[in-house]
Amino acid sequence: MSAAIEQSAMEKSGRTAAAGSSNHLGVRDLLLLRIAVNGATRADLQRDVAPLLAPRISGTEFRQAAELALSTLAGSQLTTEAKGRLTASAKGLKAAEVILSPARAFPDTWADVKTALVLAALGASDTPSVRKAIQRAEGLAALVLQRHFGKSTARVHSPADLRAELAIVALERAFGNKIKTGLGKGAGLPAKPGRLLAGQLFKQPREIASDGKLIIQLACEIAGCREPSLAALELALLRALMVPKDEGARNAPSHPRAEPPRRATRAPTPKPANDRAPLEESQPAPYRVASPPDMPEFCRAVVDAARPVAEGWPGNRKAFISLVWKAIRNARPDWGLSEIAFKGMLAEAHRSGQLELATADLKDGRDLKSLEDSKILYKNTVWHFVRVQD
């Protein structure tokens, strides 16, 4: 009889063999893990385990599920109870070790158990340096982003390095992954342009003042937590581990709380601070599908746009980058470019030798606004012009 009850509870909780798997942990697993840490009362279980399953399971529903799971644990001789305190048997401790991580000794504290679950959820290396890094919001947020964008989680990247990588991701997304960028570590965009590019990865693109805030806020958006703090981010990751994407509907309570329908919104096109001119009124509707160019197509269009507005003498004709941008924006709205993405692509084209940028003589003092609007910072150099080869 107890075996049948245990099997029923296992099916309801969706039990997994290890926390690092792609499935999820159920009530029974969590209770056993908590009891294995020096024992626990029912009040301890309510305080420590119930929040990990909220808001999918209410407090009352958790108590009902917990009583059923505790009976199966006792029936399987995994736990014992004396004077209201539950403890894990030797068999229960072995089962808890298998659930958490068979390669390591079982942790001494519940906080260490949650840390191990978070590392398993992120597929991160369980090393002293990684454990130390995720005690800070920036470190844990960095791992969330590294996991989300397909980067290695063997170590925690610094905010500066990760910002540079996110800028590359944003640039490649803007151009449909049609470029091979060289804006990597040691040769990337300066901090502010890099953050502007990385800010395009938000659902609603924005400019963030520092690398640390960028990393934390983007990770919180991805993890689905509203408060940009270490505790909130950790809780969001643990809750995601408890709720599987493919089984959430089947394992939900029989009377879930009704939520108001969410209206689909579309992220607005980002407008740089120096781009005050409105887009052409005759552009298609906002649901137009952008078709980013590849690098050769982009360079040809830039040169064609620069030629009519270039100044100088034959062999040394140059066009303000700001004028070229306005021409490209109006001529090719189907590309869906922002000014930041356009300038990033220009820098990459110059780096790869497919077109040539030039810098202005700042002693000239002519048309300072065009100079300011045109500038591109790249490798400690400021570019202002696109050079036109006659």
Nearest C-alpha neighbor of 39 from the set 89, 90, 70, 85: 85
Cis before residue 190, ω within 30 degrees of 0? no
Q: Which residues of 361-385 are buried (b: 16+ CB within 10 A; e: fewer)?
A: eeeeeeeeebbebbbbbbeeeebbb
Is residue 69 within 8 A of residue 29, CB to CB? The reply is: no
223: helix, strand or coil: helix
CA dihedral for 283, 193, 299, 290, sign (positive or negative): negative
Predicted TM-score (pTM) of the model is 0.60
Helix-, strand-, coil-residue percentages of the chain, each rounded to 5: 50, 10, 40
Please work out, in degrees rounded to the nearest 5, the angle formed at the alpha carbon of residue 76 by the alpha carbons of 74 and 78. Answer: 65
C-alpha neighbours within 13 Å on the C-beta side of residue 167: 31
Residues in the chain: 390
6: helix, strand or coil: helix
In this structure, which amino acid lies at residue 354? Q
Tens of pLDDT along the chain (390 residues) come to 334 434 443 443 333 333 343 457 888 999 999 999 999 999 999 999 999 888 888 888 888 899 999 999 999 999 999 999 999 999 999 999 888 865 567 888 999 999 989 988 888 888 889 999 999 999 999 999 999 999 998 899 999 999 999 988 888 887 766 555 555 444 467 888 889 888 989 988 888 989 999 999 999 999 998 888 999 999 998 888 775 433 333 444 444 444 445 545 555 555 554 544 444 444 444 445 567 788 888 899 999 888 888 888 877 889 999 999 998 888 888 888 888 888 888 888 888 888 899 888 765 556 788 888 888 877 678 888 899 886
Q: Could you report how far apart the first and last alpha carbons of the chain are, in Å?
A: 89
Q: Is 20 left (phi over 0), alpha (psi -120 to 50) or beta?
A: alpha
CB atoms within 10 A of CB 284: 9
Nearest C-alpha neighbor of 71 from the set 21, 25, 24, 12: 12
Residue 316 tokens read as 């040394």
Residue 372, phi then psi, degrees to nearest 5: -65, -45
